[in-house]
Amino acid sequence: MHWTLLIIAGLFEVGFAFCLGKAKLVTGTTQFLWLTGFIICLSISMLLLYKAIQVIPIGTAYGVWTGIGAAGTVIIGLLFFKEPMSFWRLFFLFTLIASVVGLKVVTN
């Protein structure tokens, strides 16, 4: 249950990064709406992270949370913001994902 909350928290971290990226591209009311989405995603992410650390050690939970957020944000950047894709970016993205999975596997 707590691992599920942690994964969802990481996905909301990706959501708030996506909202920030979109807010940067627009102005006016649309920018306000994207920033509102950012605050909502940020709040949900932090609440779920807090709930997850009630059972999962903070070092592991924070590492997994930031790993999901970092990997997801790189993928969002590649897909939606046309960031450059290179062998080394993909290589380190996969090592980041492997590290997140590794933390899950070695934590009781």
The DSSP result for 68-102, as a single string, is: HHHHHHHHHHHHHS-----HHHHHHHHHHHHHHHH
Two tokens, residue 83:
């960031």
pLDDT for the residue 86: 94
CA 17 to chain centre: 7
Q: How many CB atoms lie within 10 A of CB 52?
A: 25
Q: Give the residue-averaged pLDDT of 81-94.
A: 94
Q: pLDDT of 20-58, one tens digit each?
A: 999 999 999 999 999 999 999 999 999 999 999 999 999
On the 0-12 / 13-18 / 19+ scale of CB atoms within 10 A, 87 is: exposed
| 70 CA to centre of own chain | 6
The structure's pTM equals: 0.89
pLDDT at residue 14, as a whole number: 98
Q: Count how many domains the chain has.
A: 1
Range of the domain at 51: 2-106
CA end-to-end span of the chain: 14
pLDDT at 104: 86
